Every structure is written in C-alpha cells, then in structure tokens.
C-alpha cells in the first residue's frame, strides 16, 4: 500500500473483490515476497492495519488485508448465521487459495483470533508463523463491558447502539478512544472506522455479542488444538488494554509454549497497538519471521 494513501475512499479504490458463495469480500493485496495475512477484529476492518502494512512492505513482504464478511467494504448480509466463525474461516482460506498462497504468516487481533483458531481447526497446515496482537485466547482476562452471555436483553440493547444512526458513531469513537493511550485519530483516520458502521455492521456485531456462550464453550476445543501445535509464535500485547487484559499473556505463553524472548508486553500501549506503534510492531514481526 502506498504511503500517500491517507483517506479511506482512496484505500477502498485500491481494494480488490473476491466473490465467495455469492458474497463479495474486499481485500488489499500488495507487495511481493513472503506473504503475511493481517486479520482484523470487531468492529473494525483491514483499514486498522494500514500503518503496519506500510512497515511490512518496506521489509519486502506481500501483505494481504481482508475485510471479514460484515465489516469494512465487504458485503453485509442481514442473515446473522452467515457470521459464524467457522464460515468466516472458510472464506479466508478460500481467498488465500484464490491468491494461490498455500502457506502464510498469520497475524490476528481481537475477534480475528477466534477466526484464526477456526482456520487452524478446519484447515490445518496453512499457517507458517503465528503473530498474536491482543486477541481472544482465554476467558480469563477477557473483560467486555458486561457479560454478554448472561444478560440477553442488555446484549440486544448494546448491539442496537451500533444500529442506530444517533449512536453508532459515538460507539465507534468510544471504542477507539478507550483502546488508545497515546494517539488521537484525525478525521481522515476516523472515516475508515465510521463509514463501514454507517453502512450497517450491525448484523455482524450482533452475531458476535449474542454468541459468547458458544465460543466460550469452544475455547476448550481451541485450547486443545493450540496446546498440541508446533507453530512458531510471537506475542505482542498492549499492556493497558482494559478488555483484553495483559493477564492473558502468561497463560498464552504457557499454552502455546512460547519462548520468553518471543513475548513482548508493551507499556503505555493499549488495544489498538497497530495504530500506536506500527513501526515497532513491524520491526518485531520482521525480526521474528526472518529469525534475524
């Protein structure tokens, strides 16, 4: 991605489209060389990785940044069953097959972790190196605003805030401000988060909030897969994240058998670490992948 692309509309023009089972998936595919997939979380899109992508491109990587179905510039069907995490995993693998990429370095953040565990469960053997940025691995240390799995009426009310024209912008801005320590978004940057919300990310967000019971149960299955994998893994974590708290890090280190030097806990950095310290993250990823 060119460094001069500062505006979201320009970014969208650079995106390509991949059709899978009747739905359009938007993605960026830039650069040559070793492929790295950057998988976003909720309620975001590939736009969140634009600064990190610039860093990785300077190191000579081929960078792929999809918008999951329901987010960003991808289609946003109203049928919430289409947002099941296993279906999202099939779409990502189909996209990579379309790009003729059999194996890749894999980075995930937030909800992107759940899609990643589904990829590892349903399509093993594709990931070469695993790069984790403040993602969902354990119930412990995952502290959303309230227990979505226990209060259905409150869950519905909360997700409806992303649906109302009066409140969805405030919800996105609040999520961003709560996930940043040392950065204030300018209007051009904010547009990349706000425009998809105006185009109705509600069905995908609602699916996530109303399926906590399901993926809490599935975490044990994911842990079995992760415990028995042998993937080289780098963990980079913003220590000030109040929702995906740093108490997850030692649990992840033990579960995935990560070497101490491959665990980086960043002080004064919060949830959106790729917005706050993209240069440092790019450097750490490059050093890890090339083992230099």
Q: How many CB atoms lie within 10 A of CB 184?
A: 9
- What pLDDT is attached to residue 39? 98
Region 25-38: mean pLDDT is 97
- What pLDDT is attached to residue 273? 97
Better-scored residue on pLDDT, 68 or 160: 68
Cα–Cα distance for residue pair 85/99, rounded to 1 Å: 21
- What pLDDT is attached to residue 231? 94
Region 144-155: mean pLDDT is 68
Cα–Cα distance for residue pair 263/257, rounded to 1 Å: 11
- What pLDDT is attached to residue 146? 64
Closest CA to 98 of 21, 163, 45: 21
Domains of the chain, residue spans: 8-290
Better-scored residue on pLDDT, 215 or 83: 83
Region 134-141: mean pLDDT is 93
- What pLDDT is attached to residue 149? 59
Region 193-217: mean pLDDT is 89
The answer regarding whether domain 8-290 maps to CATH 3.30.1300.10 reads no
The answer to whether the predicted template modeling score (pTM) of the entire model surpasses 0.85 is yes
pLDDT digits over 173-198, tens only? 999 999 999 899 999 999 999 999 99
pLDDT digits over 259-289, tens only? 999 999 999 999 999 999 999 999 999 999 9
pLDDT tops 60 at residue 4: no
Region 29-33: mean pLDDT is 95
**Local structure of 238: helix, strand or coil:** strand
Q: Which parts of the chain fold into alpha helices (H)?
A: 8-14, 50-58, 85-98, 112-122, 152-160, 168-178, 187-198, 202-209, 212-227, 248-255, 273-276, 278-290
Region 31-52: mean pLDDT is 96
CB burial of 246-280 (b: ≥16 within 10 Å; e: otherwise) equals bebbeebbebbebeeebbeebeebbbbbbbbbbeb
- What pLDDT is attached to residue 292? 59
Query: How would residue 157 be classed by pLDDT, with cut points 50, 70 and 90?
Result: confident
- What pLDDT is attached to residue 211? 83
Query: How would residue 214 be classed by pLDDT, with cut points 50, 70 and 90?
Result: confident
- What pLDDT is attached to residue 210? 86
């Amino acid at each position: 991605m060119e460094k001069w692309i500062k505006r979201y509309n320009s970014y969208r023009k650079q995106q390509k489209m991949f059709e899978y089972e009747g739905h359009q998936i938007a993605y960026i595919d830039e650069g040559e060389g070793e492929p790295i997939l950057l998988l976003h979380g909720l309620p975001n899109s590939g736009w969140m990785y634009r600064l990190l992508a610039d860093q990785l491109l300077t190191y000579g990587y081929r960078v792929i940044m999809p918008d999951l179905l329901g987010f960003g510039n991808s289609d946003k069907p109203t049928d919430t069953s289409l947002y099941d995490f296993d279906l999202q995993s099939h779409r990502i693998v189909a996209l990579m097959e379309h790009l003729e990429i059999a194996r890749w370095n894999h980075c995930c953040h937030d909800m992107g972790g759940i899609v990643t565990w589904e990829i590892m469960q349903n399509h093993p053997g594709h990931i070469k190196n695993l790069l984790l940025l403040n993602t969902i691995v354990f119930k412990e240390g995952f502290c959303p605003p309230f227990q979505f799995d226990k209060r259905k009426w409150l869950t519905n009310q909360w997700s409806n805030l992303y649906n109302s024209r009066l409140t969805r912008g405030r919800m996105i801005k609040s999520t961003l401000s709560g996930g940043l320590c040392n950065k204030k978004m300018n209007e051009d940057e904010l547009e990349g988060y706000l425009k998809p919300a105006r185009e109705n990310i509600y069905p995908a967000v609602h699916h996530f909030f109303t399926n906590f019971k399901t993926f809490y149960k599935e975490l044990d299955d994911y842990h079995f897969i992760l415990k028995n994998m042998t993937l080289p893994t780098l963990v980079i974590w913003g220590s000030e994240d109040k929702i995906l708290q740093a108490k997850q890090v030692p649990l992840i280190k033990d579960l995935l058998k990560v070497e101490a030097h491959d665990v980086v806990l960043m002080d004064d950095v919060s949830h959106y670490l790729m917005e706050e310290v993209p240069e440092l993250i790019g450097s750490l990823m490059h050093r890890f992948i090339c083992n230099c």
